[in-house]
Amino acid sequence: MEANTSSENPDKLDRIIDARMKLKRRFEEKMAQTPSMTDEQPRGSGLPNRHGMPTIPIGQTVTTKWPVLDLGYQPSIPLDKWQLNIDGEVENPIRLKWEDLMALPQVEDTSDFHCVTTWSRLDVPWVGVRFMDLAALVDPKSTTTHVMCYGYDGYSTNLSLEEALKPDVLLVHTADGQPLAREHGGPLRMITPQLYAWKGSKWIKRIEFLTKNQLGFWEERGYSNTAYPWRNDRYS
């Protein structure tokens, strides 16, 4: 794992913690009202997962393979050309280069991947950076409610901040102990374990903070805004 520069710099660490706590306070209540926290009878089968949801959401079938879904084009981005812009309604827009991303706190997590086309891949070990940490760096304005995430392939997908700020929403560069393959969105993609996988942009290049909801690529074409697997919430 790369060195965590913030632990070498107490002021910077304090600022990161302050910014995170501010976001946490702002979204705690909304987050507590999201389906995964409130549904009394989430639909699915299998033992409860770590969020108390049945492991296999309704209508899903477990696969050990990892199918590839894209728009017919898999962009190739060399690490020295790669960048991620985080902008929109924020106090401090940033452009990260690969080294900047690697210098941020790296998180390991294992989570499930539910595709709207009815397959689920369970227990994928990931390494990456928390969306929440990136949000804390840019300091979203108090009027922000959503983000739009854009891929290098022209893809886009929208998310509410109360979902995006959940601690298992990561921007990952490593899966199954290997650098994330290009076909799965390498060098960096987002994952949204508590929502259908189309909410996680592969080949992510930009995160835009918004003050209202807008529709992304599939959402404009009739996919659900909210994409909640345990409500069979696929299409709108």
Ligand X SMILES: Nc1nc2c(c(=O)[nH]1)N[C@H]1C(S)=C(S)[C@@H](COP(=O)(O)O)O[C@H]1N2
Q: Among 116, 136, 207, 227, indicate the residue that binds Mo ion (CB under 5 A).
A: 116
- Contact between 220 and 192 (Cβ < 8 Å): no
* 137-156 binders of ligand X (CB under 6 A): 151, 153, 155
Residues numbered 75 to 114 that lie near ligand X (CB under 6 A) are: none
62 binds ligand X (CB under 6 A): no
Q: What's the rounded Cα separation, in Å, for the pair 166 and 131?
A: 8
In this chain, which stretch among 49-57, 68-76, 83-91, 163-171 interacts with ligand X, using CB under 6 A? Answer: 68-76
| Position among 115, 122, 124, 127 found at the interface with ligand X (CB under 6 A) | 115
| Residue whose pair of structure tokens reads 């227990």 in the numeric block | 123
Residue 40 phi, psi (nearest 5): -80, -30
Of 34, 37, 41, the C-alpha closest to 57 is 41
Cis peptide leading into residue 57 (ω within 30°): no
Indicate whether 70 belongs to the interface with ligand X (CB under 6 A).
Answer: yes
Amino acid occupying residue 29? E
* Rounded (10°) CA dihedral 26, 10, 170, 56: -80
Stretch that binds Mo ion, among 39-47, 116-124, 205-213, 219-227 (CB under 5 A): 116-124
Residues in the interface with ligand X (CB under 6 A) total: 18
Interaction of residue 69 with ligand X, rule CB under 6 A: yes
Name which of Mo ion, ligand X, none residue 151 binds, using a CB cut-off of 5 to 8 Å depending on partner kind: ligand X
Helix 10-32 / helix 131-138 crossing angle, nearest 10 deg: 110
d(CA 103, CA 96): 10
Residue from 193, 200, 216, 229 binding ligand X (CB under 6 A)? 200
Phi, psi (5° rounding) for residue 147?
Answer: -130, 155
57-76 positions binding Mo ion, by CB under 5 A: 69
Could you list the residues that contact Mo ion (CB under 5 A)? 69, 115-116, 198
Interface residue list for ligand X (CB under 6 A):
66-71, 115, 151, 153, 155, 184-185, 197-198, 200-203
